[in-house]
Structure 1
Amino acid sequence: MRFNRMLLSTTLVIVALVIQVSVLARLHLPGAVPDLVLLTVLGLALVYGHVGGALIGFGAGLLSDLAPPADHAAGRYALVLCVIGYLAGLAKPETGRLKSATGPMVVVVVAALGTTLLYAGVGALVGDDAARHVGLSSLLFTAALYDLLLAPFVVPGVMALARRAENDPLAETGSAAKASDVSSGWLSSGTGLRIGNQRGGLRIKAARSRMARAGRIKGVKRL
């Protein structure tokens, strides 16, 4: 991944994680907690593709595993978001532009359901059966509902920032500098040609004036 992608992705994930832990988790909504980190990963994956989505999902999940008050094994959510980021990246439009909001909304709902199921499944493998006590059906419904309501305010903004960062101002500056070098080279070479032509013209004019002057002097002597 390029540096600007890494910097933007890290910044957005950290901001989303801080808001989720400090604000959304304290709302005490029934069922699941709105997953702002998941929506950020989805927005980036829809721009960067499946490889970028998998890498960003793994990093975001690992930060979520380590952020307090984490009560599960480290790496559990990293595995889940890595898979979800990879699958969401496969839905990246070929042209890079979305024709409608239907596709991203479907991706959000499927990702919310898939994240909850994968998280509960991995928890069952390691002996964590908390989802059974809370109610898996309630978690699935509330996770999809909260994420779907929050998605229009998060996913488009994340995608817009990711596309803007893809322009790479440093590369544009380098290209502009290269173009200016080329243009200045053309101008210098053209100026050299013009100066050479001017010098040649001056030489020819000087030679003609000398010949004319010599002719006038010879004429005077003949008289």
Structure 2
Amino acid sequence: MGALLVSEELKVVARTALVLFGAYVLQLGLFDDLRLFSVHPEVLLAIGSGTAIAWGAERGAVVGFSAGLLADLSLSGRFGLTALAWGVTCYGIGLLSEGLARRSRLVDAVLMAVGGAGGVAAYAVIAALFGESTLGDDALFVIIGMVAAWSMVLPPLVVPVCRWAGRHSELRAAR
């Protein structure tokens, strides 16, 4: 029985890593060039928020942190700031999601928008604590609003993929 549980957890980790890697490739290859008001969608943050919506705060924080580490690979700021900001944000989204008695696609879209806005705002605040001048950026509120808007479009694609990545096989559920 113990080996079966370990095997199932490894499958979840492998599927989640596959989703994160795929999102990273899509972010760099497609979504970084897809801009509206000079702001592109944050697909990696959406994967973290989607995981938090689908599986709760703890798993959302881990995936959000991991997504942030991947995002930090292509950013010029201090390594780890995005990971910290997105991990905390996705934990909060998971707590909000767990606290809801009833969920719908609209609620998922709102949670994803809050996650997008929260992730950018958390990054700006944490980066400012480390001496970067992100809070003084005139476009910060435009960036927050546009990332939130982009994030509202993604739930029909992101949340089901995150559910798939985190599910255990039906064999275990039947036992």
TM-score when normalising by structure 2: 0.82
Q: What is residue 89 of structure 2 aligned with on the other side?
A: 84
Q: Report how far residue 102 of structure 1 moved.
A: 2.4
| 1:62-99 per-position Cα deviation (integer Å, ceiling 9, x unaligned) | 12112x3x1111100100111122112224458xx974
Q: Distance in 2 between matches of 1:35 and 1:59?
A: 14
Aligned-residue Cα RMSD (Å) equals 2.6
- Asked if the contact 1:112–1:144 (Cα under 8 Å) also holds between the matched residues in 2, the reply is yes
* Bigger relative contact order, structure 1 or 2 (CA pairs below 8 A, ≥6 apart): 2
Q: What is residue 135 of structure 1 aligned with on the other side?
A: 139
Q: What is residue 26 of structure 2 aligned with on the other side?
A: 19
Runs of 4+ in 1 over 4 A off after TM superposition: none
SS in 2 for 1:90: helix
SS in 1 for 2:77: coil
Task: Work out the percentage of aligned pairs sharing the same amino acid.
Answer: 26
AA paired with 2:159? V
AA paired with 2:169? N
AA paired with 1:105? A
Pick from 75, 79, 82: which aligns with 1:74? Answer: 79
Pick from 146, 158, 162: which aligns with 1:158? Answer: 162
CA 1:93–1:50: 2 relative to 1, 3 Å = closer
| 1:103-133 per-position Cα deviation (integer Å, ceiling 9, x unaligned) | 2112111111111111111121222224534
Pick from 41, 44, 49: which aligns with 2:56? Answer: 49
Name stretches of at least 5 consecutive residues in structure 2 with no aligned partner: 1-5
Alignment length, in residue pairs? 168
Name stretches of at least 5 consecutive residues in structure 1 with no aligned partner: 176-223
Q: Report how far residue 51 of structure 1 moved.
A: 1.4
Q: What is residue 106 of structure 1 aligned with on the other side?
A: 110
- Asked if the contact 2:89–2:122 (Cα under 8 Å) also holds between the matched residues in 1, the reply is no
CA 1:172–1:100: 2 relative to 1, 3 Å = closer
Structure 1 residue 5 corresponds to structure 2 residue 12: yes
| 1:172-204 per-position Cα deviation (integer Å, ceiling 9, x unaligned) | 79x5xxxxxxxxxxxxxxxxxxxxxxxxxxxxx
Q: Distance in 2 between matches of 1:39 and 1:19?
A: 12
TM-score when normalising by structure 1: 0.66
